[in-house]
Amino acid sequence: MKRIFSGVKPTGHLTLGNYLGAVRRWADVDQHRADALFCIVDLHALTVDHDPGRVRRLSRQAATLLLASGLDPRLCTVFVQSHVDEHARLSYLLECVATDGEMRRMIQYKEKAARERERGGSVRLSLLTYPVLMAADILAYGTDEVPVGDDQTQHVELTRDLAVRFNQRYGHTFAVPRATHPEVAARVMNLQDPTSKMGKSDDAGPGVVYLLDEPDVMRKKIMRAVTDSGQDVVHDREERPGVSNLLEILAACEGTDPQTLSGSYQSYGALKKDTAEAVVELLRPLRERHRELCADPSYVEGVLRDGAARAREMARPRVDSAYRAIGL
């Protein structure tokens, strides 16, 4: 059976981008067709300035939201990264295979480091090495597929390179995984700045729709989305990024494609209204289930405990053999 691994970072509240780009597919498709693991990657949340209590709260909230989205612990494994030591153990070995040059070429590193410096802050070494930890997350499980949004393509490419390099130097140890992306909404853009992606760690602005926003807040954010000069509703990411973003969100909600959809709209206003309603409806069951799960924290606790035990068992033999192969 195919092995699937993917994760989400507890650096903020989960967004519509996380849901359409990744989580929805994990629940609707991936957990049914493979042996799948979904991880709250809390070690990655330490790569930037953070509040310890907030990281813990957000990890729990992310786990609750994954379950509310339909991940079923009878079908897949849901766990927290720091509960399984194998991730950090393997990360160090992979640091001995990666080069500093390839780390410095990572686009996300360049962008986040520049932002950190602009704020007058210092850049943590872990921000540079975090793609190696991500490679360890994936390779520890013999992963075949990594379902992610577009923004993670470069990191999965690096993971493939490290797996191949390790195997060539030290003998076959890791499967070489590939990234998969949703057909529509693989990169949901910020509603106020449709040239940059909707990210959960951005300042909680009106451009980001959070899964736990109240329906009226979601409606307001979408109705106020920046559109483009011009009147006609066309899907063109370069020339009309704002309208294209709305078309993609609506298409993803309705299971259709943005080109077909563009023909049915004469005005931006009508498109925004339908998009707002479609998003609110799509997320309604998730919000209700989230409320129920919050009333039963020991259930979520139990899922994470069992998930970590299962994940540990799956990862340990492969990480142990990587230690032997590299000469320890």
Burial code (b: 16+ CB inside 10 Å, e: under 16) for 286-317 equals bbebbeebeeeeeebeebbeebbebbbebbee
Q: Which is nearer to ligand ADP, 251 or 319 (CB)?
A: 251
Contacts of 149 (CB under 8 A, 6+ apart): 17, 18, 21, 22, 181, 182, 186, 187, 188
Active-site residue (options: 2, 112, 220, 272)? 112
- Which residue carries 């080069």 as its tokens? 99
User: Cα dihedral angle (13, 16, 18, 19), rounded to 10 degrees?
Assistant: 120
| Number of amino acids touching ligand ADP (CB under 6 A) | 21
Active-site residue (options: 2, 110, 200, 272)? 200
Q: Which is nearer to ligand ADP, 93 or 134 (CB)?
A: 134
Site map 222..241 versus ligand ADP, x via CB under 6 A: --------------------
Residue 220 annotated as catalytic: no
- Which residue carries 């990264």 as its tokens? 81
* Residue 110 one-letter amino acid: K
* β-bridge pairing 178-180 and 145-147: parallel
Among 48, 59, 94, 149, binds ligand ADP (CB under 6 A): 149
Q: Which of residues 5-64 bind ligand ADP (CB under 6 A)?
A: 6, 8-9, 11, 15, 17-18, 21-22
Among 167, 192, 201, 256, binds ligand ADP (CB under 6 A): 201
Burial of 254 (0-12, 13-18, 19+ CB in 10 A): middle
- Among the listed ranges 97-105, 143-151, 269-277, 308-316, the one in contact with ligand ADP (CB under 6 A) is 143-151
Q: Is 11 annotated as a binding residue?
A: yes
Q: Which is nearer to ligand ADP, 3 or 165 (CB)?
A: 3
Reduced to 3 states (helix: H, G, I; strand: E, B; else coil), residue 147 is strand
How near is the Cβ of 137 to ligand ADP at its closest, in Å? 12
CA neighbours within 13 Å on the CB side: how many for 116?
A: 18
Q: Is 17 annotated as a binding residue?
A: yes
Q: Which is nearer to ligand ADP, 17 or 131 (CB)?
A: 17
Token pair of 237 as six digits:
């990411």
User: Measured between alpha carbons, how far is 207 from 17 in angstroms, rounded to an integer?
Assistant: 11
Alpha helices, DSSP H, located in 81-152:
86-95, 100-104, 107-118, 125-139
Active-site residue (options: 110, 197, 272, 273)? 197
Burial of 49 (0-12, 13-18, 19+ CB in 10 A): exposed
Site map 174..193 versus ligand ADP, x via CB under 6 A: ------------xxx-----
Site map 90..129 versus ligand ADP, x via CB under 6 A: ----------------------------------------
Q: Is 223 annotated as a binding residue?
A: no
User: Cα dihedral angle (54, 60, 62, 64), rounded to 10 degrees?
Assistant: -150
Residue 273 annotated as catalytic: no
Binding residues for L-tryptophan: 137
Active site residues: 112, 197, 200
Binding residues: 9-11, 17-18, 137, 149-151, 188, 197-201
For ligand ADP, the binding residues (CB under 6 A) are 6, 8-9, 11, 15, 17-18, 21-22, 148-149, 151-152, 186-188, 197-201
Binding residues for ATP: 9-11, 17-18, 149-151, 188, 197-201
